Chain A
């Protein structure tokens, strides 16, 4: 396969991945907005956030998928913006965005796992 064809295959794959992630996010964000707006009634507290997630496998799974979808979706979008609006070389943008996606996934999962497996220290 020549370089042009593999490049066009990569673009197709990225486009499809971003749209699939968008589909997941469309549902997840509606849930997230619902949680935000109900959670802030009467003030927000760490205990409330932890209370919802701690030991709750359904919420845990939901947030894992949510964070993964965001970690796929956001870097592909940023890649397009950087490609169109900065003079950075495409290869560098690709590397940076792969790193950004990985960072997002790890940070997100770490935070979610922390809340799910929360053990009070104090």
Chain B
């Protein structure tokens, strides 16, 4: 349970945005490192891809897709909050960002399995 003053949708959205941003920032160097291995030949990259071919890795990848979509949609919401005239239907927007993120994750899983 979140502390009293934090228990409202815009704060949850903030928490999701910070957490997803942090994980994605730390994942980026890893992502670039493995992609960079392609220089050493397709076999090296295929080795990495084969390694990710177990259910646990698939779930982790779906998690990353969800985090990426959450950070994307949450970020677009923040840009709207900062740059556009104030909108009072923000809460609807927050729900929408959550829905889209889970949807993208599901789409990934359906296609991956």
Choice from B18, B42, B83, B112 contacting A40 with Cβ under 8 Å = B112
Chain A interface category by residue count = 35 or more
Choice from B43, B45, B69 contacting A49 with Cβ under 8 Å = B45
User: B59-71 toward A: CB 8 Å interface, digit per residue (1/0)?
Assistant: 0000001001100
Q: Is B76 engaged at the interface, CB distance under 8 Å to the other chain? A: yes
A to B contact number (C-beta, < 8 Å): 101
Contact B38 A44 (CB under 8 A): no
Interface of A (DSSP majority class): helix
Contact A114 B18 (CB under 8 A): no
Offer 8 A-B interface pairs, CB within 8 angstroms, sorted by A: A30-B72, A33-B65, A33-B68, A33-B69, A47-B42, A49-B38, A74-B28, A78-B25
Q: Which residues of B contact A (CB under 8 A)?
A: 18, 21-22, 24-25, 28-29, 32-33, 35-36, 38-46, 49, 65, 68-69, 72, 75-76, 79, 82-83, 104, 107-108, 111-112
Given A19-B79, A30-B72; 14 other pairs, CB 8 A cutoff:
A25-B72, A26-B75, A29-B68, A40-B108, A46-B38, A46-B44, A50-B42, A70-B28, A74-B25, A75-B25, A81-B22, A103-B29, A104-B32, A108-B32
